[in-house]
Structure 1
Amino acid sequence: MSLRRVSTPLAILLLGLWLGQAARAVEVRLTADGDDTELGEALENASLTVEARRADPPPEAQDLLAAARADYARLLGVLYAQGYYGGVIHIRVDGREVADLPPFGAPARIDRVAITVDPGPRFRFSRAEIAPLAPGTELPDGFAAGKRARASLIEQAGRTSIAAWRDAGHAKAALADQSVVADHDARTLDARLRLDPGPRLRFGRLAIDGRTRVRPERVHAIAGLPEGEVFSPEELQASTERLRRTGTFRSVALREADAANPDGTLDITAALVDEKKRRLGFGAEYGTTDGLTLSGFWMHRNLLRGAERLRLSAEIAGLSGETGGIDYSLGALFERPATFTPDTALYVLGEISADDEPDYKQRDITVGAGLSHIFSDTLEGSAGFLVRYTEIEDDLGDREITQLSFPVSMTRDTRDSELDPRTGTYLSVQAEPFVGLDNPENGARLYADARAYRGFGERVVVAGRVQMGSLLGASADAVPSDWLFYSGGGGTVRGQPYQSLAVDLGNDDSRGGRSFVGLSMELRTGITRSIGVVGFVDAGHIGDGEVPGEGGDWHAGAGLGLRYDTGIGPIRLDVGAPIQGDTGDGVQIYIGIGQAF
């Protein structure tokens, strides 16, 4: 498409289509009197004829003709949206105006379609008024006298003003009258809108529409609709989201009643469709050192007819790997939403596991319970207690540990995607104070994981990650071995062997450290829409003291990765090698779903 200035009125030739037995080349050229490239792009993007021509295989004649007929209204809408109210549109099929073709006399073959648009002069607002306005309403910047009279601004001003009244509790605010007059001689537009805010309303009764298996009292408790309080679209959306995140419903829609009740309340109807009660899932991940990990789960979504979830899970890790032996785990997790508050859930868990790692063997039985709470769309936290019995075999000797711990965590997540983030940040902070039930040593384990993402253009993303951990107040032999810190492998330093960096005890003995620092940086670049490459550098530090980064040793790895976007998340292939430290040599390969972090 070329753009050049001519003295004739603006004429846009968006498309020339040549169709024979096979598809022919199409020339798309924009010739403009002026420099309004935004208009040309908007017209081309809106044209169904242009879109149909790009289809593979090429469209049939009747489909192309239908697209051309629809383009009159679509292109006129673009002109109005851009502030042009005197435009002339011609769409010709083999030289004949599409609007003049008889409905039942369509040609059997189309060789050429030409779309020509003369937008005419650009209009400006002579008046731009909307009233009454709710306190604090912020109208669009361009909706003012003297500004370019885009029809889209009038629509946006109306939506913004009605939304402001609804935010103030006027649920039935609506457009009562409008006057939009174009003066073609003066090239101006007079726009005046009159709103009817309606009365300020309160939330009424929540009714349930649909044959859900969840008990009505539990639907009310989960939704948490504040009946009797002033109407709020934000509260209505929050109730909708609470019902959705239970995972019990396939679809959730909260609809406002058409009219308010005489007492000034507005009833809400929850239209619910249940998901299947049971779900079965499987997963797999492979690394050259870590080996193959297989996992699976069975879940019941509505165990006691209160949207309670019971999840039974199993995992086998380390198959054909170099991480010691094979690890096993069996777990059960029960969750009950809307416990104490609509945003608070109760959980009860139990797990049996056996880990065969390079530096230790460990068997665990864990039971516990707690509460999780969602503070906002980006912030959530949890607190609870765990009782854990552990049998350990490592270089410190064989021992048994029983402890009571109180895990607390907070997570703030502003990423635009969990599997393939381009912008935003992620911060997770965990603290787990513990009391030894069979020894006098007490303390706490701390861990933090911070990530940040920054996109440049459409295909370049820089991602960074910092991990820190510390064991406070207790010696290394007073806690389970998996509470100590190691570095190396897919979750810490790619290119270094799995858990290859630890605390050296001499005589070829080693154990995990009491502190940890992990640093990662990635440069992600898209080559095509589906294929991308990644360059990465990771570093890790393990120390024997409580302060992360002090004493101890560092090691690092770097490499390249390939990503294939599946639409759900990228398939990840990373190849890394050591660049610092003496904990490994050769390359390591990692395969999984989603970005590395």
Structure 2
Amino acid sequence: MNGAATAIALVLAMWTTPIIAQAKQDAPELKDLIPDSAVDDPENWAEQGVSAGAAAQEDAPLPLDAEAPLADMPSVTIAWPDEVDLPQLDPLEAEEPIEFATFEEEIPEVPAGSEERISDELVLVFPTDNSLFPERDEFLDRFKSLSTIAELEDDDNLARLAVQARGDEELLHEMLRVYGYYDAQVIRSVGNVEESADVELDVPAARFDIIPGVRYRFGAVDLGNLGTGGNAFEELRAVFEIYPGDYISLDMITQERADLDIALGEAGFPFAAIEDPDLLIDHDRREGDLTMPVEPGGRYVMRVVRSDSPDFLSSRHLTRIARWDEGDLYQRSDEMDLRRAILSTGIVGSVTLTPVVVEEPQGDRPGTVDIAASLTAAPLRSIGGSIGYGTEEGIRLEAMWEHRNLFPPEGLLRLRGILGTQEQLAGVTFQKSNFHGRDRILTVDAFASTIDYSAYDARAVSLVSTYERVSTLLFQKAFSWSVGVELVATEEREVDANGVFLPRETYFVAALPLYASLDNSDDLLDPTEGWRLSGRLSPEVSDNNSVQSFYLRSQIDASYYQSIGERNVLAGRVRLASIPGTQVGNIAPSRRLYAGGGGSVRGYGYQEIGPLSDMGDPIGGRSLVEFSLEARIGTGLMDGAVSVVPFVDAGSVGEDDIPDFSSIKFGAGLGLRYATGFGPLRLDVAVPINPGPNDNWIAVYVALGQAF
């Protein structure tokens, strides 16, 4: 077979070129070119060489068809290979044997997964063994809030879903790194999901198989110059709760950095600086080295506040507002509290506080800083008004003008007026805030008023002065108090049995009202836990037609609040009041005790509960008792801002100084509360359970804040 192959190859070499040049229809077949002797004995035939006739035939051109395109071209001959000198090739060097890489560890098997279907088109698959990824629940909640697939509307568009899936895949990788899984794998697949119990239709969906892998740990933890914090180092280092060997969590780095920053600010380091953390991941060690340079900057105590506007708010006044005493260790919370207090005055639009070094630290002895205050005044004059309506009180219009710093510092002058169905008033008020102490207010109020109630009408001129320590939204105090002086000259008259007003009587009243309050509740306007207890005492002397009377007005209020579940609160209150010392007739009608209204017994008109005249009008009394119970039930309406409040109230007023329960009145109703940024807006609708002849069948109340 080798000889035959060689013969055939020689023949092909001799005849290939002429055959190509000749037209297909004239080309001889291969079997005609090979003699029978070559087939019978190819090796012998090959050794004989080419005959002279064959050579002559080789030199002669093959006939071409005259119409063929190559007819005019000269014939081509190829020299015999023996006549060609070919260069000698160097032998190839032997190649080195190929070595295949070997793995030190076997490729782990993919653990069995459990699906979490977030939506019809989004599925996450986690390891079934929760110990492989214990952060699963928290991870899933965060992913749901960030996923673009979960956020955008499902429109069964496979192309849109594929683009979003690539974004969610990158999101999953970033989130896994947040928890320290730097070798995690996320396998993304997008396609149609067949109908199942969870999915009713054949819809496109994205599936992510999550293989967390090994969770990395912290290696070295470098906090720069934190050690220069002196005696505070151990305390500060304990605040930064990240140590070598702990699992990596980027959330923890952020949280611990914030905790350390707060601790530095509270430990006397006003100039402390913390640079951005850097985490260097070492995949060989499966660890991350944390570097977060810290510069404590020296420890200081505080001295005074320096105002850049002494004629507006003096340095002395601002230092009085501050909650620290000279020599106290610097605390950033004190600085921030001062800033909020300055803004809450209402006369400052913006403030910048800057620690200024007075004395540098010396060894273990801290330095001293002042707090420089740069102030920008807010508009100081205001005009305001309100319109109100109550089913029992009628219309009430109120207007006021004030200048909040007419008498610096924080000296307010206010003019106000009331025009209503039952009340008219004109008054002027002087008020000095933060007077000789934080949240201490001196008020002098002079006003003239007329009042027209069912029980009486009165024309009065009053001068009232109080000095009080108040509880504010900025600082709700456990203990508040007030002391005051009250001088009243009033002409009042009552209604006789025939409904005719009796002659006016003039009363001159002097009183020393005192007030104290204990507040254990968790919120000033909307309490949900705790209790409150307050008391009022007002020794008074009254002169009526040269008849002097001495008596003591007293009142105790107590309330309790208990949360039930996440959104529900059960609240109750009781009020007891008494005026011992004289008879009802010796007390001006406006100084007696009454019940009824939105802050008392709902369902009844304002001051409509009490002893009645022959015409059925209340005449007031010397004792009072009130009870209220309500359930504040949260709803999901408007993101939980709306709550429903069923309530029941009860109250009684007696002519003696001991509370009388024989004529107690009950009211019940339903309210709505809408939570605002400054307290709940209240709407209550109530009906009297045992109404008198002059009581309306329903009452409506609108106010800010809870009823109690």
Q: Same fold (TM over 0.5)?
A: yes
**Secondary structure of the structure 2 residue equivalent to 1:495:** coil
Matched, 1:558 2:668: yes
The 10-residue stretch of structure 1 (353-362 or 552-561) with the greater mean CA deviation from structure 2: 552-561
Structure 1 residues 439-482: Cα deviation after superposition (integer angstroms, max 9, x where no partner): 54223222344444444445433333333322233432333323
Q: Where does residue 328 of structure 1 map in the other structure?
A: 424
State whether structure 2 residue 487 is matched by structure 1 residue 387: yes
Closer, same or farther: CA 76–481 of 1 in aligned 2, 3 Å: farther
Q: Percentage identity across aligned positions? A: 28
Change (3 A) 1:32 1:439: farther
Q: Following the alignment from structure 2 to structure 1, what is the Cα–Cα distance between the partners of residues 404 and 602?
A: 37
**Pairwise CA distance, 1:301:** 1.6
> Structure 1's 50 and 515: CA in aligned 2 closer, same or farther, altered over 3 A?
farther
Q: 2:299 aligns with which of 188, 200, 211?
A: 200
Distance 1:338 1:113 in 2: 63
Q: How far does residue 155 in structure 1 lie from its aligned partner after superposition?
A: 3.9
Instruction: Map Cα deviations across residues 481-505 of structure 1 (whole Å, 9 max, x no partner).
Output: 2332222222211223443321246
| Structure 1: 5+ residue stretches without partners | 1-5, 16-25, 56-60, 95-110, 320-325
Write the distance in 2 (CA, Å) between the matches of 1:81 and 1:260.
44
Aligned pair in 2 of structure 1 residues 560, 365: CA closer, same or farther (>3 Å)? Answer: same
Candidates 251, 255, 274, aligned match of 1:152: 251
- Structure 2 partner of 1:359: 455
Conservation of the 8 A alpha-carbon contact between 1:310 and 1:335: yes
> Which letter does structure 2 place at the counterpart of 1:355?
I
Q: Hey, what does 1:277 align to over in structure 2?
A: 380
CA contact (8 A) 1:138 1:160 kept: no
Aligned residue in 2 for 1:214: 312
Structure 2 equivalent of residue 349 of structure 1: 445
Shift, 1:356, TM fit: 0.9
Residues 1:172 and 2:271 aligned together = yes
Matched, 1:521 2:629: yes
1:504–1:510 CA contact under 8 A, matched in 2? yes
Match of 2:342 among 214, 221, 243: 243
Please give the per-residue CA displacement for 1:211-243, whole angstroms capped at 9, x wherever unaligned. 797244465355446455432334323422331
Residues of 2 paired with 1:117 and 1:312: CA distance? 70
Structure 1 residue 429, shift from structure 2 partner: 3.1
Please tell me whether the aligned partners of residues 358 and 368 of structure 2 are also in contact (alpha carbons under 8 angstroms): yes
2:96 is matched with: none
Higher mean displacement: 292-301 or 567-576: 567-576
Give distance in 2, aligned partners of 1:88 and 1:368. 76
TM-score by structure 1 length?
0.76
Distance 1:477 1:122, change over 3 A: farther
Report which of the two has the higher share of strand: 1
Instruction: Give the structure 1 partner of residue 476 of structure 2.
Output: 378
Q: Give the AA of the match of 1:400.
A: T
- For the Cα contact (< 8 Å) 1:218–1:306, is it kept in 2? no
1:300 and 1:79 map into 2 onto residues whose CA distance is 58
Tell which has more relative contact order, 1 or 2 (C-alpha 8 A, sep 6+): 1
1:332 is displaced (CA, Å) by 2.2
CA shift at 1:393, angstroms?
0.9
Which structure 2 residues correspond to residues 481-496 of structure 1 after superposition, within 5 A?
481-496=589-604
Question: Aligned letter for 2:251?
Answer: S
- Return the offset for 1:358: 1.0
| Cα pair distance change 1:505/1:375, threshold 3 Å | closer
Contact 1:426 1:451 in 2 (8 A): yes
Q: Does the 8 A contact of 1:139 with 1:161 survive in 2?
A: no
- CA contact 1:247–1:275 (8 Å) conserved in 2: yes
- Give me the whole-angstrom Cα distance separating, in 2, the residues matched to 1:181 and 1:11: 33
Question: Of the two, which has the highest radius of gyration?
Answer: 2
CA contact (8 A) 2:476 2:524 kept: no
Contact 1:8 1:33 in 2 (8 A): yes
Distance 2:632 2:663 in 1: 29
Aligned partners of 2:279 and 2:290 also within 8 Å: yes
Deviation at 1:405, TM superposition (A): 1.6
Q: Displacement of 1:535 after TM fit?
A: 1.2
The yes-or-no answer on 1:431 pairing with 2:537 is yes
Q: Which residue pairs with 2:13 in the alignment?
A: none
Q: Counterpart of 1:7? A: 111
* 1:333-353 per-position Cα deviation (integer Å, ceiling 9, x unaligned): 221123223443322111212
Q: 2-side partners of 1:475 and 1:77: how far apart?
A: 80
Matched, 1:301 2:399: no
Unaligned runs of 5+ in 2: 1-109, 131-135, 192-203, 362-366, 497-501
Superposed displacement of residue 51, structure 1: 8.7
1:213–1:274 CA contact under 8 A, matched in 2: no
Higher normalized helix content (fraction of residues): 2
Aligned residues: 549
Matches within 5 A, 1:33-112: 33-34=127-128, 36-46=136-146, 49=148, 53=152, 78-79=175-176, 82-87=179-184
Q: Which amino acid aligns with 2:665?
A: H
Could you tell me how far apart the structure 2 residues matched to 1:70 and 1:439 are? 87
- Aligned-residue offset at 1:11: 9.2
Q: 2:390 aligns with which of 266, 281, 287?
A: 287
Paired amino acid for 1:31: V
Note if contact 2:240-2:260 (Cα within 8 Å) is conserved in structure 1. Answer: no
Q: Return the alpha-carbon distance in structure 1 between the equivalents of residues 425 and 418 of structure 2.
A: 5
Secondary structure class of the residue paired with 1:152: helix
Letter matched to residue 385 of structure 2 = F
Q: Who is 2:15 aligned against?
A: none
Residue 145 of structure 1 and its aligned partner are, at CA, apart by: 7.6
Query: Shift of residue 170 of structure 1?
Result: 3.1
Structure 2 CA distance for partners of 1:370 and 1:524, relative to 1, 3 Å: closer
Are the aligned partners of 2:405 and 2:411 in contact in 1 as well (CA < 8 Å)?
yes
Superposed CA RMSD in Å reads 4.5
Q: Which of 574, 579, 582 does residue 689 from structure 2 map onto?
A: 579
